[in-house]
């Protein structure tokens, strides 16, 4: 099957790209493995120069790359610009801190001298999603390349132009030929890539189902693996929350990128004292969101990325309503060309509805009414996912105490969950394992080697 760019705003075909055969894949794997061995011998200053060149080009060509993102997956142009700028930021971050992160660490032992050094593992296969088609790649690529590893990109099949553009960008910025390679392969060929002796580790951002398959393959071949999978992040509003701030951030947290984000707030858990007041504010803001052409800077909600995703979302909504949830606003596709869905709120979601248990990957917020604070905490943890979470309260000391009991990779208090190069990012439970970003993310794909000297 070809890799197809389909404009989700118009449902019109943009371009198709032929998939590679197994022979071409094998050649690419061998070439990248050889290139990595040379890249690992470069100095930190040489790697830093490449990353800084990439950042410069991202700033200079921001609008070009943003337009490409918007045309392939439907993100509003202003959000796409911010995504490109964030990619430049992560390149600058690792250019500045990479050498420091890899510095040898002296440890006390029975030796005259003992220390831990860090060496690259080799070639990392990055299986990346369509929802942040530049950022997801760069947050893996920047630390991986700075560490002296090479990266093979298996991008989502509906954003092939983004994958090709990123490969070209790295090459034009001075990266050695073959150190970053965009693989135009089918899902069925991923197993061959993971099994190859030329691949030494795997990182995947994607669905829970894909994560289970990749983890099984990586385990079979004894390859290090990092997984960032789905999420059903709780957004807990306590009785003493600043409701204006909470409502503003609820909209931003749920409807950024048309709600197509693993770390979007998905379950709005409210206590009785403020439930109706919060929902009134939330509903007013959601109904004011402007849906339209994502190339228009006034647009806040663009189309969903694919028709099948919209169909799945609407099925989850209609099933939940049939099971007792209440459509507070929206909850229908938009009647126009393209893959648009109304910004929506489902109220009175209970454990009897599918929306309570499943991840809704689109512009639908679900509201769960808790009996009290402790019940809110129980509901927050009553999910197989554990990626992000947030608590809204003026009593930050109490909020921190509650945060200690939330089963998630991060908890933001009075702030929107986001990824930041300075902070480790990842999940627990069915949201995956391992960490990206910060020093921890860089060390994931390195050999921590102990040296002991008498």
Which residues are catalytic, by number?
Answer: 228, 262
CB contact at 8 A, 227 and 214: yes
Alpha carbon of 164 to those of 1, 72, 167, 170: distances in Å?
A: 17, 13, 5, 10
CB contact at 8 A, 261 and 130: no
- As a whole number of angstroms, the distance between CA 214 and CA 181 comes to 20
The stretches of 154-304 forming alpha helices (DSSP H) are 160-172, 190-195, 208-220, 243-255, 275-287
Q: What is the DSSP string of 320-376?
A: HHHTT-EEEE--SB-SSSSS-B--EEEES--TTSHHHHS---SSEEEEEE-SSHHHH
Q: Which residue has the tokens 């663009």?
A: 302
CB contact at 8 A, 148 and 39: yes
Residues 6 or more apart from 229 whose CB is under 8 A from it? Answer: 204, 205, 206, 207, 208, 210, 211, 262, 385, 387, 427, 430, 431, 432
Burial of 150 (0-12, 13-18, 19+ CB in 10 A): buried
Give the CA count within 13 Å in the CB-facing half-sphere of 253. 30
Q: Residue 300 gets which letter from DSSP?
A: S
């Amino acid at each position: 099957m070809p890799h197809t760019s389909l404009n989700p705003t118009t449902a019109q075909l943009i371009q198709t790209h032929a998939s590679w055969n197994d022979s071409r894949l094998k050649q690419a794997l061998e070439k990248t493995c050889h290139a990595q061995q040379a890249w690992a011998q470069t100095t930190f200053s040489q790697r830093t120069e490449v990353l800084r060149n990439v950042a410069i080009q991202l700033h200079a060509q921001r609008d070009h790359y943003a337009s490409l993102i918007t045309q392939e997956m439907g993100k509003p142009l202003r959000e796409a610009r911010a995504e490109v700028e964030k990619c430049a930021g992560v390149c600058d971050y690792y250019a500045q801190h990479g050498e420091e992160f890899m510095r040898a660490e002296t440890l006390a032992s029975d030796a005259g001298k003992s220390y831990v050094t860090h060496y690259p593992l080799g070639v990392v296969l990055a299986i990346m999603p369509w929802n942040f088609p530049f950022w997801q790649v760069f947050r893996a690529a920047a630390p991986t390349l700075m560490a002296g590893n090479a990266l093979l990109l298996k991008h989502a099949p509906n954003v092939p132009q983004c994958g090709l553009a990123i490969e070209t960008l790295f090459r034009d910025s001075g990266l050695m030929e073959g150190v970053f390679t965009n693989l135009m392969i089918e899902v069925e060929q991923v197993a061959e890539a993971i099994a190859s002796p030329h691949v030494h580790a795997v990182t995947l951002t994607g669905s829970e189902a894909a994560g289970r398959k990749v983890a099984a393959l990586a385990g079979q071949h004894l390859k290090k693996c990092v997984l960032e999978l789905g999420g059903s992040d709780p957004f807990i509003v306590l009785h003493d929350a600043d409701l204006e701030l909470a409502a503003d951030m609820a909209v931003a947290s749920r409807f950024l990128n048309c709600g197509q984000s693993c770390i979007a707030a998905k379950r709005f858990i409210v206590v009785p004292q403020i439930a109706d007041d919060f929902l009134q504010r939330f509903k007013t803001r959601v109904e004011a969101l402007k849906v339209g052409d994502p190339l228009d800077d006034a647009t806040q909600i663009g189309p969903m990325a694919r028709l099948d995703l919209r169909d799945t979302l609407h099925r989850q909504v209609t099933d939940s309503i049939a099971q007792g949830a209440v459509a507070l606003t929206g909850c229908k596709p938009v009647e126009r060309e393209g893959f648009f869905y109304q910004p929506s709120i489902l109220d009175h979601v209970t454990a009897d509805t599918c929306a309570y248990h499943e991840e809704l990957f689109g512009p639908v917020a679900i509201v769960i009414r808790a009996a009290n604070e402790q019940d809110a905490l129980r509901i927050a943890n009553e999910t197989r996912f554990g990626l992000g979470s947030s608590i809204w309260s003026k009593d930050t000391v109490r909020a921190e105490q509650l945060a200690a009991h939330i089963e998630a990779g991060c908890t933001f208090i009075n702030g929107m969950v986001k990824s930041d190069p300075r902070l480790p990012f990842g999940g627990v439970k069915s949201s995956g394992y391992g960490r990206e970003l910060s020093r921890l993310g860089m060390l994931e794909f390195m050999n921590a080697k102990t040296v002991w000297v008498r």
